[in-house]
């Protein structure tokens, strides 16, 4: 693998496919200090694609950790309005938002989980307007990743420093198809393949999905006239973008009151700078009524108890076990990758695009159609090679959707 060539292709893929930057657009990049060379490469390619201004918002893990350790409690209940206004202005003006993930997966271990929860709540409220643009895909947004040393050393515990970073870069290149000669072309084909699955599931209109696996016996009802999505989306101007690179999932939102049974996690979840591992959640009439976790129970509790809506599901996503990320046999400890190696569910807000005409409905109308609302939306991984899923058709007959972790449709 020629490293510089792969890095260049990844920056190209970010600008051409993830964001699909158009002449005259503003781009906002939120990134850590870990990979400044890569960020500069993305900025250069964005200007070459015609971007008007590229704003880079730099963050630093150590500065974040210092705040969580030392700032007064009230700091976490506040979110700077100017920051919310800035990203909202970019979205409203037709600009694009890029998050480059590189955070240490348990950066905030040992800090009070209540601080993380208050921050998430304050951020959720302050960013409500911005989320209207991004959750509905009216504004372009995308998440990609670049290694930090701390993250890379957790994914490759046998390697140190630059060697770990290099190994994580190579894993990212493979997961994003940047080890191939023409990633932009490969993603065109990939988006089309996902769209075929979406079309197939939309035609079926299953009223329920029945999941079974060791530790999991779960029924998830889907709303009437639900719409599956996957691959790229179109923004308000009609330009296609990929909100996640990589992405391997097709997804829908469950009916708020229609989840019954229990489900167990199959991969660790890094949430709010803490790892939650080996957890099981029990649902009755859609609501979480019980949960346990071998590790990170307090963090899971803060997540589930964020608001009323965080007691319900907002997403059900299908990813075959036989996918490039899953086949790497790596646990990335980062949801962007791990969710794309595994069937997953999300706690919290549903997608308004998950039912016909949902984009033009008010929050009340979405609720009437069974879609959940919450300040949060957090994916967790439940898939494995032992998972079977049946789809229940309108007349009650069952059809295999997944067998032994892979598509059976
Ligand atoms: Zn998902």
Return all residues near 44 (Cβ < 8 A) that are at least 6 apart.
11
- Cα(162) to ligand 1 centroid in Å equals 31
Q: What is the pLDDT of residue 179?
A: 93
- Cα(27) to ligand 1 centroid in Å equals 24
**Three-class SS of 287-315:** EEEEEEEEECHHHHHHHHCCCHHHHCEEE
- Cα(80) to ligand 1 centroid in Å equals 28
Q: Which residues surround ligand 1, an ion (CB under 5 A)?
A: 249, 251, 317, 379
Assigned token pair, 215: 């530790």
Closest CA to 381 of 322, 327, 330, 317: 317
Q: Are 38 and 6 in contact (CB under 8 A)?
A: no
Q: What is the pLDDT of residue 92?
A: 97
- Cα(169) to ligand 1 centroid in Å equals 22
Whole-angstrom distance, CA of residue 135 vs CA of residue 371: 13
Return all residues near 105 (Cβ < 8 A) that are at least 6 apart.
151, 154, 268, 270, 273, 275, 333, 334
H/E stretch holding 266 = none
Q: φ, ψ for residue 190 (rounded to 5)?
A: -60, -45
- Cα(58) to ligand 1 centroid in Å equals 26
- Cα(319) to ligand 1 centroid in Å equals 9
Q: What is the pLDDT of residue 184?
A: 96
- Cα(2) to ligand 1 centroid in Å equals 31
Looking at the domain that runs over 3-175, which CATH code has it been given?
A: 3.40.1830.10
Whole-angstrom distance, CA of residue 275 vs CA of residue 247: 22
- Cα(227) to ligand 1 centroid in Å equals 14
Closest CA to 64 of 55, 56, 76, 74: 76
- Cα(294) to ligand 1 centroid in Å equals 24
- Cα(249) to ligand 1 centroid in Å equals 6
- Cα(247) to ligand 1 centroid in Å equals 8
Residue spans per domain, the chain:
3-175, 204-228+248-407
Assigned token pair, 104: 């240490």
Q: What is the pLDDT of residue 29?
A: 98
- Cα(301) to ligand 1 centroid in Å equals 21
- Cα(314) to ligand 1 centroid in Å equals 10
- Cα(73) to ligand 1 centroid in Å equals 32
- Cα(312) to ligand 1 centroid in Å equals 15
373-409 b/e with 16+ CB inside 10 Å = b? bbbbbbbbbbbbeebbbbbbeeeeeeeebbeebebee
Q: What is the pLDDT of residue 1?
A: 74
Strand partners, 58: 31
- Cα(331) to ligand 1 centroid in Å equals 16
Low-confidence ranges of the chain (pLDDT < 50): none
């Amino acid at each position: 693998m020629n490293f510089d060539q792969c890095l260049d292709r990844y920056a190209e893929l970010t600008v051409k496919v993830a964001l699909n930057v158009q002449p005259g657009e503003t781009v906002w990049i939120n990134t850590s200090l870990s990979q400044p060379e890569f960020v500069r490469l993305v900025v250069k390619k964005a200007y070459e694609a015609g971007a008007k201004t590229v704003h880079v918002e730099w963050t630093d893990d150590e500065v974040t950790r210092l705040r969580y350790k030392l700032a007064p409690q009230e700091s976490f209940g506040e979110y700077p309005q100017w920051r919310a206004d800035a990203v909202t202005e970019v979205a409203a003006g037709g600009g694009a938002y890029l998050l480059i993930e590189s955070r240490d997966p348990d950066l905030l271990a040992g800090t009070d989980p209540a601080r993380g929860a208050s921050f998430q709540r304050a951020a959720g409220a302050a960013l409500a307007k911005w989320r209207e643009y991004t959750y509905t895909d009216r504004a372009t947004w995308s998440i990609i990743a670049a290694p930090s040393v701390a993250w890379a050393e957790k994914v490759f515990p046998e390697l140190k420093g630059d060697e770990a970073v290099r190994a994580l870069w190579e894993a990212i290149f493979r997961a994003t198809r940047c080890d191939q000669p023409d990633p932009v072309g490969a993603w065109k084909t990939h988006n089309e393949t996902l769209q075929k699955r979406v079309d197939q599931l939309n035609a079926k209109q299953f009223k329920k999905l029945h999941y079974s696996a060791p530790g999991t016996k779960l029924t998830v009802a889907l709303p009437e006239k639900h719409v599956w999505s996957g691959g790229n989306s179109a923004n308000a101007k009609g330009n296609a973008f990929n909100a996640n690179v990589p992405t391997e999932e097709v997804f829908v939102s469950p009916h708020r009151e229609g989840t019954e049974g229990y489900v167990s996690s199959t991969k660790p979840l890094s949430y709010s700078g803490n790892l939650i591992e080996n957890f099981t959640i029990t649902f009755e009439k859609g609501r979480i009524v019980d949960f346990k976790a071998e590790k990170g129970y307090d963090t899971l509790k803060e997540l589930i108890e964020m608001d009323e809506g965080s007691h319900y599901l907002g997403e059900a996503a299908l990813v075959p076990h036989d996918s490039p990320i899953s086949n790497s046999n790596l646990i990335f400890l980062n949801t962007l990758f791990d969710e794309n190696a595994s069937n997953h569910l999300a706690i919290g807000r549903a997608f308004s695009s998950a039912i016909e005409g949902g984009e033009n409905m008010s929050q009340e109308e979405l609720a009437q159609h069974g879609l959940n609302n919450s300040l949060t939306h957090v994916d967790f991984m439940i898939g494995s090679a032992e998972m079977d899923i049946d789809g229940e058709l309108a007349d009650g007959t069952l059809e295999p959707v997944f067998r032994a972790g892979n598509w059976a449709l």
